[in-house]
């Protein structure tokens, strides 16, 4: 490098080198189906939907299914090769967060920006907002990369091994949940022309939600919990907030 090399250029190279070392120093998981991308180019992004929850009423869980199937499902299909990791998150509590459904995904900022543009212009989301089912919609700002590493959205209380491997597990579970909704929707809604009436559409997803709950109660213990426990050698697991150990 000659004396004529601009100082600004040298400084930029130094910053880039430091950023690469920051995350590259963490060993890549050997079991990963894909190599963890460079954190400078990829990160975690959130699309959050706050769903109306009237006082004295149970959460409208079927709204989550409707958004997952009709809005997020097509996005996952179109961007499958660009979404390195993705998952759903559902929660409902009488607190500041309320009832919220989230689509969380790991990709480049450029891809995230395109996804958010598509989501923000989706007519079904507009209908849900206009009808009062959605109180708020929030998409991350793609101009700033706040969560560059694989473990950045995992529970900080977990071990590093769990934090870095869990996103792969929950992506599989989320895909299974979405595919189950698709299967049940095909059974219940058939191939008939979808109704243009939002309330009629949502009533169909209320039925799908009830069917999904039945399947979880009847089959979740063996199909999911038992086989997960088997992978870990049937070691008993501590149940949260209860001093009790169980095998599945």
Residues 80 and 177 in one domain: no
Neighbour-count burial of 66, counting CB atoms closer than 10 A to its CB (0-12 exposed, 13-18 middle, 19+ buried)? buried
Q: With contact defined as beta carbons under 8 Å apart, do 122 and 134 qualify?
A: no
Concatenated DSSP letters for 143-160? Answer: TS----SGGGGS-TTS-H
Identify whether 207 is part of a domain.
yes
Of 153, 187, 205, the residue that ends a domain is 153
pLDDT of residue 43: 96
The pair of three-digit structure tokens given for residue 156, joined into one six-digit string? 């900080």
Same domain membership, residue 195 and residue 115 = no
pLDDT of 231 reads: 96
pTM value surpassing 0.75: yes
d(CA 248, CA 240): 15
What are 114-168's pLDDT values in tens digits? 999 999 999 999 999 999 999 999 999 999 999 999 999 999 999 999 999 999 9
Q: Residue 66: inside a domain, yes or no?
A: yes
From 179, 193, 51, 73, select the one nearest 122 (Cα to Cα): 73
Handedness of CA 79, 85, 87, 93 (dihedral sign): negative
Q: At which of 93, 127, 153 does a domain end?
A: 153
Give one word for 155, left, alpha or beta, with left for phi > 0 and alpha for psi -120 to 50.
beta
83 and 66 in one domain?
A: yes
Q: Given pLDDT bands bounded at 50, 70 and 90, which one contains residue 7? A: very low
CATH (domain of 131):
3.30.70.100
**56-79, pLDDT tens digit by residue?**
999 999 999 999 999 999 999 999
Higher pLDDT, 36 or 154: 154
Let me know if residue 35 belongs to a domain: no
Residues 170 and 227 in one domain: yes
Structure tokens at 54: 């009237």
Q: Are residues 94 and 121 in the same domain?
A: yes
* Residue 20, domain member (yes or no): no
**What's the whole-number average pLDDT of the chain?**
86
Same-domain check for residues 137 and 198: no
Give the C-alpha separation, 11 to 26, whole Å. 24
pLDDT at 28: 47
Range of the domain at 81: 42-153
Q: Are residues 103 and 119 in the same domain?
A: yes
pLDDT digits (tens, 9 = 90+) for 14-26: 444 444 434 544 4
Q: How confident is the model at residue 244 (pLDDT cuts 50, 70, 90)?
A: confident
pLDDT at 16: 42
Cα radius of gyration (the chain): 21
Same domain, 66 and 146: yes
CA distance 102 to 206: 19
Chain segment 73-99, per-residue pLDDT in tens: 999 999 999 999 999 999 999 999 999
Q: How many domains does one find in the chain? A: 2
Q: How far apart are CA 216 and CA 136, in angstroms?
A: 29
Is residue 10 situated within a structural domain? Answer: no
Query: 197 with 143, same domain?
Result: no
95 lies in the same domain as 187 = no
CA angle 79, 201, 133 (to 5 degrees): 80
The answer, yes or no, to whether residue 42 has pLDDT greater than 80, is: yes
Kindly list the strands in the beta sheet with 99-108, ordered across the sheet, starting from the edge strand earlier in the chain: 85-92, 99-108, 42-51, 134-139
65 and 147 housed in the same domain:
yes
Q: Which residue has the tokens 């992978």?
A: 231
- Could you tell me the two tokens for 6? 């601009």
Identify the domain boundary among 130, 153, 176. 153
174 lies in some domain: yes
Cβ neighbours of residue 99 under 8 Å, at least 6 residues apart? 50, 51, 52, 53, 59, 60, 91, 92
Residue 13 forms part of a structural domain: no
The answer on 182 and 99 residing in a single domain is no
Q: Provide the pLDDT for residue 96.
A: 92
To the nearest 10°, report the CA torsion of 28, 33, 35, 36.
-70
Q: Does residue 124 lie in a domain region?
A: yes
């Amino acid at each position: 490098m000659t004396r004529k090399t601009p100082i600004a250029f040298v400084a930029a190279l130094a910053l880039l080198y430091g950023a690469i070392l920051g995350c590259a120093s963490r060993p890549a998981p050997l079991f990963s189906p894909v190599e963890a991308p460079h954190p400078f180019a990829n990160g975690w992004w959130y699309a959050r939907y706050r769903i109306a929850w009237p006082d004295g009423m149970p959460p409208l869980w079927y709204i989550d299914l409707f958004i997952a199937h009709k809005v997020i499902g097509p996005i996952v299909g179109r961007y499958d090769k660009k979404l390195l990791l993705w998952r759903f998150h559902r929660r409902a509590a009488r607190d500041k967060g309320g009832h919220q459904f989230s689509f969380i995904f790991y990709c480049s900022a450029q891809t995230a920006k395109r996804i958010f543009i598509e989501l923000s212009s989706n007519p079904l989301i507009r209908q849900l907002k206009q009808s009062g089912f959605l109180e708020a919609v929030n998409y991350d700002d793609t101009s700033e990369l706040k969560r560059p590493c694989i473990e950045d959205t995992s529970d900080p209380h977990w071990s590093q091994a769990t934090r870095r491997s869990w996103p792969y597990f929950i992506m599989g579970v989320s895909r299974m949940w979405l595919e189950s909704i698709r299967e049940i929707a095909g059974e219940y809604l058939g191939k008939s022309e979808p109704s243009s009436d939002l309330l009629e559409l949502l009533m169909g997803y209320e039925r799908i939600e009830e069917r999904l709950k039945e399947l979880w109660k009847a089959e979740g213990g063996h199909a999911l919990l038992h086989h997960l426990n088997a992978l870990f050698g049937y070691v008993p697991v501590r149940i949260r907030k209860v001093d009790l150990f169980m095998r599945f």
